[in-house]
A and B are shown apart, each in its own frame.
Chain A
Amino acid sequence: MTMLRRWRTWAWVLPAVVLLLVFVYYPIADNLRLSLFSWNAFSPEPRFVGLDNYAEAFGDPVFWRALGNNTAYAVVSLIFQGGLSLVLAALLEELVGRRMRGLLRTLYFIPAAMSITVVGVLFSFLYNPRYGLLNGALNGLGLGHLARAWLGEEGSAIWSVIAMSQWQSVGYTAVLFVVAIQRIPREYYEAAKVDGGGPVRTFFSITLPMVREMTTLVVILTISGAFLVFNEVMVMTAGGPDNSSQVLGTWLYRKAFMEDDMGYAATVATVIFVITFAIAAAQLAFSRRRRYDT
């Protein structure tokens, strides 16, 4: 009887636990299993093929191209969201008065509040080869030779998508850094000022070390975000032209829902899972070590 009473508290967590088990955990586990079968939406009986799907993926140049594009996404995002965002945040705190700072912070955040479809379609207009503002601006500046069909050429499609993504996210990360900087005790800065340190030195000796925790988090989120990316590419190029801007997420989608090669698609999903899980585990290990450190 007392046992039963103790378990009654489970009523509070039960809805969350059930939702998680059925719609989050089960599908991830099922995906691992499905990647070992060859099947499509119409074949009633999936056929066990072992690791054949993995062999197929690892021998497929598009798979490697997608992985390469994810990596490019990660590198560029790290530079902009780890670097530029932090610089913008530090400048906001150092140079700008209170009211103006709030205004700029709000402004910087606006793209992050817009849906990816809105931003994606808007940028596909800006990138339009004939009427887009980008080519118009280049022509106006006498740089007409740089103008191109940004999303329509193999050489530039993925980079154009990545650039749009930075436009949307840099302000968001900058705002996160602003909050982290505001948590640094003011005395540190006053001490630095008294010691005659210039703003650049103060940035490196105080701001940078003091926001380390936020930096780590942003780095982790940025990298795993780059390997999970789907929406941006789907909205703007759907992986084209000729699979040149394919990332793992869109390649999975194409294989599963356009080519109906479900086993292969589940394999790509497993690869994404392994990569992002490793990154998340690294983060956990890191934050645990820090907790013991301090």
Chain B
Amino acid sequence: MRAVRFGILSVTLSLAALAIVRAQASDNAAIQEKAAVCSGCHGENGISQTENIPSLAGQPDQFIQWQLVFFRAGSRKNDQMQPIVEEITNEDIRNFGAYFAQMTPPKAAEDGDPDLSKKGAQVAVGRRCASCHTDSFAGTKAVARLAGQREEYLVKALHDYKAGQRVGGGVAAMADVAYHMSDEEITAVSHYLAYFK
């Protein structure tokens, strides 16, 4: 949201735009320092090399913000994340959103099991994943990017939703979609999305 608003400003007021660019740059330096703690698990450049830890690079700004808000509020539970985000400020959350959103998203590797992907594609159509996550599965606003996410993390996330361990806060979209999914469906659709190009 910030970025959009800044964009509009910079078109209309070049002076103000200059000042804002500078402010953003310094914001960025501060947030890079704070984000050092993230890269330990989520990887350099926001691309995770660790099992069951998601990549954050290229996730939509609002999605990152919501998850941090949910972790801080305790409505999304995770033993690693909880203590880290406990004292995080709203300002930090806005900055983290912008920071990870502008990173280059992970590129999917070569698909080793196209048959499983074919099954997964059918699941994605049947469960209408694209209607929220968009046709490119890049996500938008509060909805996560799925394309190129770690396969076993997608499996974990869907199981968490299915079991009601992850709700997302309020009336939950994913909990109710995943509730109806079989383990086979979860395996297939996770593979499909992890290798989606």
The answer on A and B forming one complex is: no
B residues adjacent to A (C-beta < 8 A): none
A residues adjacent to B (C-beta < 8 A): none
